[in-house]
Amino acid sequence: MAEDQHSEQPLEQQVLHRVEDRVAWITLNRPEVRNAITPDQRNRVIDLLEEASAAHDVGAVVLTATGKGFCTGADLRGGRGAPAPKPQGAPERIIGDAARMIRRGAQRLIAAVLDCEKPVVAAVNGTAAGIGAHLAFACDLVVAAEEARFIEVFVRRGISPDGGGAYLLPRLVGLQRAKELVFFGDDLPVAEAERMGLVNRVVPADQLEATAGALAARLAAGPTKAIGLAKWLLNRSLDSDRQTAFDEEAWAQELAVATADAAEGLRAFAERREPRFRGF
């Protein structure tokens, strides 16, 4: 949790948004607290990801941040809202309060990335800790600056991981590695994160935006619906039995072959040219 006071700047300045060449850029912009994320910021990111899913002029998303921190965890002191009324004599926190906060907060954020119908590229500019690390790991591709690091910070605070960490990590690095990261909470340098498969590319800081943008541009120029279906299949694959996975694969292909991009792909193959996909 950040030590600085909650920023007074408008929410639209705390989470920047632009769409360029079919790529939606979502940028956390509170560098003074290394982008510790408030509930208001979190909700704006969720809304923007949902908008990207529905937007026909968006084929990919880049999630990044300004300054030296990608996201250093949750800053709960901004935008929490009034607490629910409690009976006289009740303790400050009642069983169920924390679980409800996690379900409505961190888990919704991670689910928004996983469920976005467009591929999401994380451009990790600096420290990603706690929910910030999980926000990066939930993305479909991760590009990181050489200065970046990842921290499963929860054990340092005496709490267990949330924001999907116990779900994501074993699927990305295996159970034993996940336990080591979570149990010790040590800083994970970006080179080691790349070796473990948590990061796709490591680049100098001044090349981060260009590299992430180039990957997103390639995705945005592709067959959007087919890529979205592929994301859905891959994300479900480790939770499915073989028959369910095969059934879902068959129906996903049924949907994909009905798109205009599939017809264009077949025409381009027959005509021996590069396809010109339009995203539908």
Q: What is the pLDDT of residues 210-252, one digit of tens each?
A: 999 999 999 999 999 999 999 999 999 999 999 999 999 999 9
Report phi then psi at 91, rounded to 5: -70, 165
Q: What is the pLDDT of residues 172-202, one digit of tens each?
A: 999 999 999 999 999 999 999 999 999 999 9
The verdict on 64 and 152 lying in the same domain is: yes
In the predicted model, what is the mean pLDDT of residues 147-167?
Answer: 96
Q: Does residue 260 share a domain with residue 145?
A: no
Residues 141 and 232 in one domain: no
Give the pLDDT confidence of 13-59 residue by residue, as tens digits.
999 999 999 999 999 999 999 999 999 999 999 999 999 999 999 99
* Domain-terminating residue out of 220, 236, 254: 220
3-state secondary structure the chain: CCCCCCCCCCHHHHEEEEEECCEEEEEECCHHHCCCECHHHHHHHHHHHHHHHHCCCCCEEEEEECCCEEECCECCCCCCCCCCCCCCCCCCCCCCHHHHHHHHCHHHHHHHHHHCCCCEEEEECCEEECHHHHHHHCCCEEEEECCCEEECHHHHHCCCCCCCHHHHHHHHHCHHHHHHHHHHCCEEEHHHHHHHCCCCEEECHHHHHHHHHHHHHHHHCCCHHHHHHHHHHHHHHCCCCHHHHHHHHHHHHHHHCCCHHHHHHHHHHHCCCCCCCCCC
Domain count, the chain: 2
Are residues 235 and 209 both part of a single domain? no
pLDDT (average), residues 152-166: 95
Considering the domain architecture, whether residues 137 and 240 belong to the same structural domain is answered as no
- Whole-prediction pTM: 0.92
Look at residue 148 and tell me if it is in a domain: yes
* Domain shared by 85 and 168, yes or no: yes
Same domain (yes/no): 233, 109: no
Q: How many CB atoms lie within 10 A of CB 265?
A: 18
CA distance 168 to 139: 11
- Is residue 110's pLDDT more than 70? yes
Residues 143, 45, single domain; the answer is yes
**Separation CA 177–CA 275 (nearest Å):** 41
Q: Which residue has the tokens 């939770």?
A: 239
CATH number at residue 123: 3.90.226.10
In a domain, 237, yes or no: yes
Domain ranges, residue 243: 224-270
Residue 1's pLDDT is 39
